[in-house]
Chain A
Amino acid sequence: MPEVTKLIHKYLRHDKKFPHVWCPGCGIGIMLGALIRAIDRIGYEKDEIVLVSGIGCSGRLPVYVDFNTLHTTHGRALTFATGIKLAKPSLKVIVIMGDGDAVAIGGNHFIHAARRNIDVTAIILNNSIYGMTGGQNSPTTPYGMRSTTTTYSNIEQSFRISELAVTAGAVFVGRGTVYHAKLLDSLMEKAFLKQGFSVVEVIAHCHTQYGRQNRLGSAVEMMQWQRDHAIPVEKSLKMKSEELEDKILIGVLVDKELPVYQDEYEKIRDRARAAMEK
Chain B
Amino acid sequence: MVEGALRAGCRFFAGYPITPATEISEVLSVKLPRVNGTFIQMEDEIASIGAVIGASLAGVKAMTATSGPGFSLMQENLGFAVIAEIPCVIVNVMRGGPSTGLPTFPAQGDVMQARWGTHGDHPIIVLSASTVRECYDMTVRAFNLSEKFRTPVILLIDEVIAHMREKIVFLENEEKEIFNRVKPTMPPEWYIPYENTPSGVPPMANFGEGYRYHVTGLTHDIRGFPTLRQDEIGPFINRLHRKISAHFSEIQSAEYFQTEDAEITLIAYGCVARSAKRAVIEAREKGLRVGLLKLITLWPFMRIAVEKVIQTSKVLIVPEMNMGQISREVKRVSRGMARVFTLNKVDGTIITPSEIFNRIREVI
Contact = CB atoms under 8 A, between A and B. Distances in A.
A47 interface: yes
B293 interface: no
Nearest to B77: A73
Contacts of B217: 71-73
A154 interface: no
A108 B207 contact: no
A273 B37 CA distance: 11
Chain A contact residues: over half helix, strand or loop, or mixed?
helix
B237 interface: no
B77 A76 contact: yes
A70 B57 contact: yes
A221 to B, nearest CB: 32
A52 B30 CA distance: 30
Contacts of A87: 11-12, 38, 54-56, 58-60, 62
Contacts of A139: none
A79 B51 contact: yes
Contacts of A112: 42-43, 47
Interface string B32-54: 01101010101110111111111
Contacts, number: 143
Nearest to A82: B51
Nearest to B206: A88
A269 B216 contact: no
A48 interface: yes
A88 B30 contact: no
A46 B59 CA distance: 18
B50 A269 contact: no
Interface string B250-267: 000000000000000000
Secondary structure at the B interface, as helix, strand, loop or mixed, is mixed
Interface stretch (B105-113, B218-226, B271-279): B218-226
Q: Which of B52, B55, B80, B208 gathers most chain A CB within 10 Å?
A: B208
Given A68-B208, A86-B40, A109-B43, A63 B33 contact: no
Contacts of A50: 58, 207-208
A212 interface: no
A62 interface: yes
B102 interface: no
Given A73-B76, A73-B77, A88-B59, A80 B208 contact: no
A269 B31 CA distance: 10
Nearest to A47: B210
Interface in A85-103: 85-88, 90-91
Contacts of A82: 14, 40, 42, 47, 50-51, 54
Interface of B: 11-12, 14, 30, 33-34, 36, 38, 40, 42-44, 46-60, 62, 76-77, 80, 206-210, 212-218, 223, 225-226
Given A80-B50, A82-B42, A112-B42, 13 more contacts: A50-B207, A70-B54, A70-B207, A70-B214, A72-B50, A72-B217, A79-B42, A79-B46, A81-B54, A84-B207, A87-B54, A269-B36, A272-B30
Interface of A: 16-17, 46-48, 50, 52, 62-63, 66-73, 76, 78-88, 90-91, 108-109, 112, 265, 268-269, 271-273, 276
What are the 4 A-B residue pairs with the smallest beta carbon separation, nearest first?
A83-B54, A79-B50, A83-B51, A272-B33
